[in-house]
Amino acid sequence: ALLIVAWRWRRAYALGLVGALLIALGASGTRASVRLADALPAALEGRDLSVTGIVASLPQRSASGLRFRFEPDGASHNGQAVQLPRALAVGWYTGWHEDAALTQPQAELRAGQRWRFTLRLRQPHANLNPHGFDYELRLFEEGVRATGYVRDVPAPELLHRAAGFPVERLRQRVRDAIEAAVPDRRAAGVLAALAVGDQGAIEREDWDVYRNTGVAHLVSISGLHITMFAWLAAAAISLLWRRSSGAMRWAPAPLAARWGGFLCAAAYAVFSGWGVPSQRTVWMLGVVVLSQTLGARWPWSLVLLFAAVVVTALDPWALTQAGFWLSFVAVGLLMASTSGASRHDAPVAGWRHWPTRAWEASRAGLRTQVIATIGLTPLTLVFFQQVSIVGFAANLVAIPLVTLVITPLALLGAAIVPLWSVAAWFVQQLNAMLSSLAAIPSAVLLVPVAPVWAQLGGLLGAVLLVLPLPWRARLLALPLLLPLLMPPRDLPATGHFDLVALDVGQGSALLVRTRTHLLVFDAGPQYSRESDAGQRVLLPLLRTRGESRIDRLVLSHRDLDHVGGASAVLKATRVDDLLSSLETGHPLRAAAPHATRCEAGQSWQWDGVRFAIIGPPAGDYTRALKSNAMSCVL
């Protein structure tokens, strides 16, 4: 009878899990269908539309103007009402001139304002390349179903200064105050990222340094920041609560501190943009506080699983983000690598023992950093095909500095403005240190995209390395890591070549790979004063293919849709030879170690593959021809 009862219970449990999974899949499919149906009608693409709505995000300033999320509440075309998607990604541009400044209406743009714009919209489309950034998917995740730009005529009209989104309005006020108080734009961007979660305020060059030194997670609001804020808030609430006899009669101080710290952490997470790491931390803190209040002791694995379920239930597309996996895997590895005994060791009490406590805290921090570095390296390689060699050393300095000094100062600066200047000084010192580390040769390990079997083996190897297992068992992890660190490359045989035509929009960029040589033909367009196909498309693809050198870069002619990305390529990659029709004084020729002019009749052979230039004739260089007529033809 007991066996029958146990079998029926397990069967019911299994059916319940299957049912929950089917409900989750059905709900996600329904939400995806609803989002896909929220589309811009094809007949409205490229038309001038009169649109009223609310600025729903912090406007992001770039060299070419402003970009922001816009939620329309009314639209018309030629006087007829039309239906638009619920969220639009809108650009309001100043032009391509280096000295272009924001116009008066642009300078007035703030989150929460209601405007009337004349917009030209289109359905979301982006470049799609192997292992490249999927901008269309990002827009879909954010619920943005159309993109466009503001037309200057008729002039945009501000209708209401505070029409909604109070949290976004407050975030912008804090960001504007930081920018006004801190003259150093780079430092101000980092403080804005830490105080209000505005990662777009960080300069692109600084992002490169942070990624190459493995500290990018510190300048995004992460679980570490939320937990630290919750702890500080709980400590302050506990201290104040104990001083009030009325409050103590209403609720015990520990209970008030737990729930107060949790609510403050949740408020900070919402204020900073409600990213996946913040969501994970808030839900985990909520489970811990609830279990402590009820007197229950839930295993850490159940707490982590609950947080993951809540995050994916609220946002199914979080599963497509690298941050989701890095965040949850990091916490899981840290918890799994710690033995039960060590997790419950009693702390050393008393101020007299502070050296012992400091030593124990330092040891625990060092151990945590070792586990995080070893455990997350394979997952980082799977997602980004690069890992920082100097990241361990950089994090040893950056984690305490950012977490215990810069972030608290960035938050307290909202009440005591001079603290932002102090925080900016620490940011400058941190940037100087990180820039020195990033400049070390081979500071970043780049690897090609590995096969799926190598990725799975590498992830398993990382788990074995950090689990509390005998050292002989951990040695088994090393062979599992090798295929991920040194994946096999599928190179063409002698006499054959691979040709890859990149999706760069208007313009061209192609790779021609023989057995031992690589040729790049054109480098794509320049999209704006701060973005080009070299940086956004070509370099990431070269990295995922394991290409560290270009034997020959051929630039067909000087037009920006063909050479716009060449400067980024020449700066970031070794280029042995530049072949082009560019004039002698062109800056791209000066940036290459060896530059020659392409002429009909030139030819060479690589690995059994013959290349020939069939135009332009040498005599065309003495004639006044348009750039297209002077194209190198390979």
Give the residue from 54, 144, 158 showing the smallest Cα distance to 106: 158
Phi and psi, residue 41, nearest 5°: -60, 140
Would you state the pLDDT for residue 479?
92
Token pair 């909520």: residue: 286
Would you state the pLDDT for residue 7?
66
Would you state the pLDDT for residue 38?
95
Query: Has residue 589 got a pLDDT over 80?
Result: yes
Q: Are 141 and 242 in contact (CB under 8 A)?
A: no
pLDDT (mean) for 114-142: 92
Give the dihedral sign, CA 249/250/251/253.
Answer: negative
Q: How far is it, in rounded angstroms, from Cα 376 to Cα 599? A: 50
Q: Which residue has the higher pLDDT, 139 or 339?
A: 139
Give the residue from 234, 236, 241 showing the smallest Cα distance to 257: 234
Lowest mean pLDDT among 83-92, 340-349, 482-491: 340-349
Angle between helices 354-384 and 477-485 (to 10 degrees): 50
Give the residue from 197, 50, 174, 52 showing the smallest Cα distance to 118: 50
2 pLDDT tier (thresholds 50, 70, 90):
low
Domains observed in the chain: 42-164 (2.40.50), 170-214+405-446 (no CATH), 222-341 (no CATH), 498-630 (3.60.15.10)
Token pair 């940011």: residue: 427
| Residues 355-383 pLDDT 10s | 776 777 777 778 888 888 888 999 999 99
Cis peptide before 154 (omega within 30 of 0): yes
Query: Has residue 98 got a pLDDT over 70?
Result: no
CA distances 75 to 240, 260, 473, 544, Å, are 52, 44, 65, 43
Does pTM surpass 0.85? yes
Would you state the pLDDT for residue 132?
81
For residue 142, what is the enclosing H or E element? Answer: none
| Residues 560-578 pLDDT 10s | 999 999 999 999 899 999 9
pLDDT (mean) for 474-490: 90
348 pLDDT tier (thresholds 50, 70, 90):
very low
Would you state the pLDDT for residue 339?
53
Q: Are 515 and 493 in contact (CB under 8 A)?
A: yes
CA distances 464 to 104, 322, 371, Å, are 59, 22, 11
Q: How far is it, in rounded angstroms, from Cα 265 to Cα 226? A: 6
| Residues 414-445 pLDDT 10s | 999 999 999 999 999 999 999 999 999 889 99
Q: How far is it, in rounded angstroms, from Cα 27 to Cα 16? A: 16
Query: Has residue 537 got a pLDDT over 60?
Result: yes
3 state SS of 511: strand
Are β-strands 60-62 and 80-81 bridged in parallel, bridged antiparallel, or unpaired?
unpaired
pLDDT mean across residues, the chain: 89
Token pair 């499919």: residue: 29
Are β-strands 552-555 and 518-521 bridged in parallel, bridged antiparallel, or unpaired?
parallel
Give the residue from 539, 527, 529, 515 showing the smallest Cα distance to 609: 515
| Residues 12-28 pLDDT 10s | 778 888 888 888 889 88
For residue 578, what is the enclosing H or E element? Answer: strand 578-580
Give the residue from 159, 150, 53 showing the smallest Cα distance to 106: 150
3 state SS of 555: strand
% of the chain at pLDDT higher than 90: 61
Query: Has residue 345 got a pLDDT over 80?
Result: no
pLDDT (mean) for 450-468: 92
Lowest mean pLDDT among 73-87, 171-185, 262-276, 487-501: 262-276
Q: How far is it, in rounded angstroms, from Cα 303 to Cα 325? A: 16
Could you tell me if residue 505 is left (phi over 0), alpha (psi between -120 and 50 degrees) or otherwise beta? left
Angle between helices 391-401 and 418-438 (to 10 degrees): 170
**Residues pairing with 579 in the sheet:** 554, 596
Q: How far is it, in rounded angstroms, from Cα 632 to Cα 634? A: 6
Would you state the pLDDT for residue 100?
57
Which pair of structure tokens corresponds to residue 248? 């103590």
Would you state the pLDDT for residue 40?
96
Phi and psi, residue 276, nearest 5°: -60, -45
Q: Are 488 and 529 in contact (CB under 8 A)?
A: no
